[in-house]
A = this chain, B = another copy of it.
């Protein structure tokens, strides 16, 4: 358990899914004070994800002024993704495919990180953490370590000289099953998270990419998914 001094504040992007929840749990276990950022962008499951965000924040007792919910509905207006554009079908799971799936929201993570960096600069956070996963995931271009490194450099050049912000991606190299295992070890509230791309609750659809990845992850971790209760 490392200790951090003065600027031990971390902005964590918390979608309400497992990866971001475990990312937050990891930063928390390292002694950071969390500031939680949630974005909603007209995706099908926006309401259910916001519910998960607040449930997780409540679980950890994060105060209101350390929660920021941002509407980036313009990503839906821009379109180009099955997550936001009703005219593009959400494809069913194909975990062997190497194509970028239709659920890719063009350059979404850069939009998220830009907001996070603005907030981090204002509240003096030294870290932004995001639960991106490269391997065992869907092959989005904005989930690669090189992208985050480039964005970190962009923050360095585009903010005040005294601002210093690192981007942390603690689960990026993990398999989904490791993420589940890590979350359970740290007591993260995985039962409050939401992964499904299609259903807005109360039950996940069980057949989309994201549901398939989650089910496989719990199975490989030899754990039971509390969301099913």
**Number of residues of chain A lying within 8 A (CB) of chain B:** 44
Chain A 86-127 interface mask (CB, 8 Å, partner B; 1/0): 000000000000001000111111110111011101100000
Q: Is A220 an interface residue (CB 8 A)?
A: no
Residues on the B chain within 8 Å of A155, using CB: 107, 110
Chain A 137-165 interface mask (CB, 8 Å, partner B; 1/0): 00001101011001101111111110000
Q: Is A75 an interface residue (CB 8 A)?
A: yes
Q: Is A219 an interface residue (CB 8 A)?
A: no
Contact, CB under 8 Å: A154 / B122: no
A68, A104, A106: residue with the most chain B Cβ atoms closer than 10 Å: A106
Contact, CB under 8 Å: B78 / A119: yes
* Consensus secondary structure, chain A interface: helix
Residues on the B chain within 8 Å of A144, using CB: 157-158
Residues on the B chain within 8 Å of A113, using CB: 114
Per the bound structure, the CA–CA distance linking A226 and B170 in Å amounts to 55
Residues on the B chain within 8 Å of A135, using CB: none
Residues on the B chain within 8 Å of A72, using CB: 74
| A-B complex: 5 closest residue pairs judged by Cβ atoms | A80-B122, A142-B158, A106-B121, A70-B74, A150-B154
